[in-house]
Amino acid sequence: MSESFVLKIDLDIHPPEEWMAAWERKNEMILGLYGLKPTKVNKKESPRGWHYWYLLHKYLTPEETNKLQFLLGDDHTRVKINMWKIARSVPHWNKLFDRKLWRKDQETITCWFCGNKIPLVVVHGEKEPEEDDRSG
C-alpha cells in the first residue's frame, strides 16, 4: 500500500482519556469534511505521546497528506520537515519514529517555533546556498 493511503499523526502529549476521546471524534469530523472515512485506525503509545495511523482507500498527493496530518494535530515540526522533504521530492518522506535517531557530532539548527534541534543533512546531493546566495 502506498504511503499516500496512510495518514500518520505524531501527538507529543499524554492527555487525559476524555480529552483523547474528544480529539479522536474531532479528527473523524475533519476527515468527514474532506469526504474521507478511514477503513482502519491504529494507535500506539510512544515515549512522548501517541502515534496514529489512519488507513484510507483514497489516494492523496503528498501535499494533501501533509495538510490533513497538520489539520489532524500532527507535530508541527514534523509537518514543516515533511514540507521540505516533499518540496525536494524525497521518497518515503512520511516517517514516524519511536525513538530519536541521532548522529554524533551532527550539525543542527534549532527550530524557532518549538526549540527542537533539527539535524542538517544533504538531500539528493543538494547543498544549501550560502547566506549571500539566497537572495536570488
The chain-wide mean pLDDT, for the chain, equals: 82
pLDDT top residue among 114 and 133: 114
pLDDT of residue 134: 42
Residue type, position 125, single letter: G
Average pLDDT over residues 106-124: 65
- CATH fold of 3-96 reads Alpha-Beta Plaits (3.30.70)
Is the pLDDT at 123 greater than 70, yes or no?
no
Cell of 15: 492527555
Block residue for cell numbers 495538510? 67
pLDDT top residue among 107 and 16: 16
Domain ranges of the chain: 3-96
pLDDT of residue 132: 47
Nearest Cα residue to 69 out of 58, 48, 83, 88: 83
Average pLDDT over residues 9-20: 94
The C-alpha atoms of residue 42 and residue 94 are separated, in whole angstroms, by 16
Is the pLDDT at 122 greater than 70, yes or no?
no
Is the pLDDT at 48 greater than 70, yes or no?
yes
Average pLDDT over residues 33-58: 93
